[in-house]
Structure 1
Amino acid sequence: MPGRETAAEKKQRALAVMDRLEADMPDARIELDYRTPLELLVAVILSAQCTDKRVNMVTPALFQRFPDARAYASAEPTDVEPFIRTCGLYRAKAKNIVAAARALVQEHAGQVPLQRAVLEGLPGVGRKTAGVVCIHLGGDAAFPVDTHVKRLAYRLGFTTQEDPDKVELDMQAVLPEQRWTLGHQLLVWHGRRTCFARSPECERCVVADLCPKKGVRASAAAKRAEAAGSSGAATVKRTRSTGARARART
């Protein structure tokens, strides 16, 4: 992709990227298990610095014990902690879940609001969490930025920003609003399955020719050089070892 890309060209490329990712991953969806808006909210809170797989392992028992906001609101964080201990940061998460539930009961009749700004006002609910809840419940439009979206947005050349809020604005600028929800999910899936943080598998990426691979080429070259160095060192070591054995036999 030589030359400076215009805004129109970037939008056209972004659409092409999403079209290919959607064709490659037609089943892309949120991988957290939930049945109600509250279950989704709790699961997303638990997913911070934790895998969706781990969250899905603990939530069945948690959701059975606390079926609604009032159940959480009448509990103490220490009542929730045993159910989520393996999720990491479990004490803070238990505290936030109980506090958020109490706010839902007191201010929203126990229901999860669908306005992002209102969700952000709940204890322990940040902008990303609120955005994820909204887009999957049909609330306010958003393009939530997690670690995968942030990494891929930069590698694909759609943003140069570090702040997640600014990355979100850049992604919203290159894609029409009706593509935000699926676009978010496609980047998450692609980041989990192909465009890994340390070793992106560009050779099997369906959008490789549309991607400037920002920050990837240098690291890949360094890895190849490191591998070559290790191979060379191993060869020298084997040669020295062979020579030593030969001298020992003489």
Structure 2
Amino acid sequence: MTATGFAPEWLALREEADASARAEELLAPLREALRGRAEPVIRDLGCGTGSMGRWLAPRLDGPQRWVLQDRDPELLALAGAAMPGGDPGVELLEADATALDDRELRGTSLVTASALLDLLTAEEVGAIAAACVRAGCPALLTLTVAGRVEFDRPDPLDSSFARAFDAHQRRVTGGRRLLGPDAAPTAVAAFERLGAWVLAHPSPWRLGPERPRLAEQWLRGWVSAACEQQPELAEHASGYLQRRLGDGPCAIVGHTDLLAVPGDPV
């Protein structure tokens, strides 16, 4: 584990599923929003090991400059070493995404983030939206937990574990009430209140036999978080996991991608 609680091994394990899930449908309007910017400057908030940059950079036209921002120096080092382009096209910035303001975004063409919004509060999401809109900077915010899990075969305890997991995602920790599955609609509302136009698109993980390690680790983490939130589920966890893991878990895990652009639709 790192200082932020995200292990590089977990981020590496999920990268392929993340790449397959991200909404390619948002790329055309994103390119249009960036049209005319010869060398866009892209700031990736909470960049982790840099998977967003590795996915997006080849899908945008021409040279780019990336600012990889994370509060974890270990993850930043990994991200910088694995980004396409390299120095001077990549800058590493050790900073917390929740401290962003519009002055920092001067000269920035695009803000990105991946699997970040559901870990924030409504106030923090509102602050990111305000910083982007005031700076006239589009934002591509991907893989936000949507609170929807569909298994290939039903189990009587599915809904109990799902409700407990969603409650865990919305928990209060360190005096902060996390948004969890409410993050995407909260972000949409925050950007739209400030006059930005927003496109939202589903970006589900599809877990099954082609990704057995990720499917198992996700399921174990999902069940563990549910039991942490609702301890009485612990007596059922072993049997539930045994049933789910018996033939290999297959599930669709809902996420949402957002593209927010200040001003009128392009």
TM (norm. structure 1) is 0.26
Larger-Rg structure? 1
